[in-house]
Amino acid sequence: SGTLQITSDPKTTWSIQVEQDAPPMVQITSDFSADYFGASQLPYAAQDDFGVVSGRLLVDLDAALLDRRFGLIPDYQGPSTVEMPLAFSLRSLRTDMKAVAEQDFSESVWAHLPVRIRVEVTDGAGNTTLSEPLFTTLPARRFFDPLAASLIELRRDILWSSENDRRA
């Protein structure tokens, strides 16, 4: 903040007040949902005084709620967090936006398991904010044929831990 003065003729002076950039705000506005084929949608809203420039969806396995039976008995050998960049519409006003994160988690080892989901957004100044977590079951395609469901479960067990290879 201060004064800007141009000393030419005529002399001109402006008083400048600089406003500090506020961090963005983000919230998940509805539950995760999935269609018959497993495509998931997570509605969220984000606001920032100068505009949101990027974001990502963060998914963590909720190990406390995990039913540790069968192929889930061994320790998980994969990444602890799944990150997915958010795509923003070119037409959306990024100072006050409503959007939907879309992803098919059917191939994820965490499909139909308990997870914690958060949305993270960043503004142009580099300020980052996380939404309150949503605790849910990771939606994905359902298999109604018992043989198909069994094969998918065995696939999950193999991806879960190399200890499951022989059993599967």
The DSSP string of 40-102 is EEEEEEEE-SS-EEEEEEEEEE-GGG----GGGSSPP-S-SEEEEEPPPPTTS-TTEEEEEEE
Q: What is the mean pLDDT of the chain?
A: 88
Q: What is the pLDDT of residue 58?
A: 96
Q: What is the pLDDT of residue 133?
A: 96
pLDDT tens digits along 54-98:
999 999 999 888 888 888 888 888 888 999 999 877 666 688 889
Q: What is the pLDDT of residue 93?
A: 65
pLDDT above 90: percentage of residues in the chain: 35
Q: Is 15 helix (H, G, I), strand (E, B) or coil?
A: strand
| H helix or E strand, kind and range, residue 156 | helix 146-160
The β-bridge partners of 134 are 117
Which among 14-23, 53-62, 73-82, 98-107 has the top mean pLDDT?
Answer: 53-62
Is the Cβ–Cβ distance between 119 and 26 less than 8 Å? Answer: yes
Is the Cβ–Cβ distance between 32 and 139 less than 8 Å? Answer: yes
Q: How far is CA 147 from the centre of its chain?
A: 32
Rounded-to-integer distance, Cα 20 and Cα 162, Å: 51
Q: What is the pLDDT of residue 11?
A: 84
Q: Is 164 helix (H, G, I), strand (E, B) or coil?
A: helix
Rounded-to-integer distance, Cα 31 and Cα 150, Å: 27
pLDDT-derived band at 26 (thresholds 50, 70, 90) equals very high
What is the number of other CB atoms lying within 10 angstroms of the CB of residue 16?
8
* Mean pLDDT for the stretch of residues 10-26: 89
pLDDT tens digits along 28-51:
999 988 888 888 999 999 999 988
Q: What is the pLDDT of residue 160?
A: 87
**What 8-state DSSP symbol labels residue 131?**
P
Which residues, other chains included, contact 103 with Cβ-Cβ below 8 Å and sequence gap of 6+? 39, 40, 57, 84
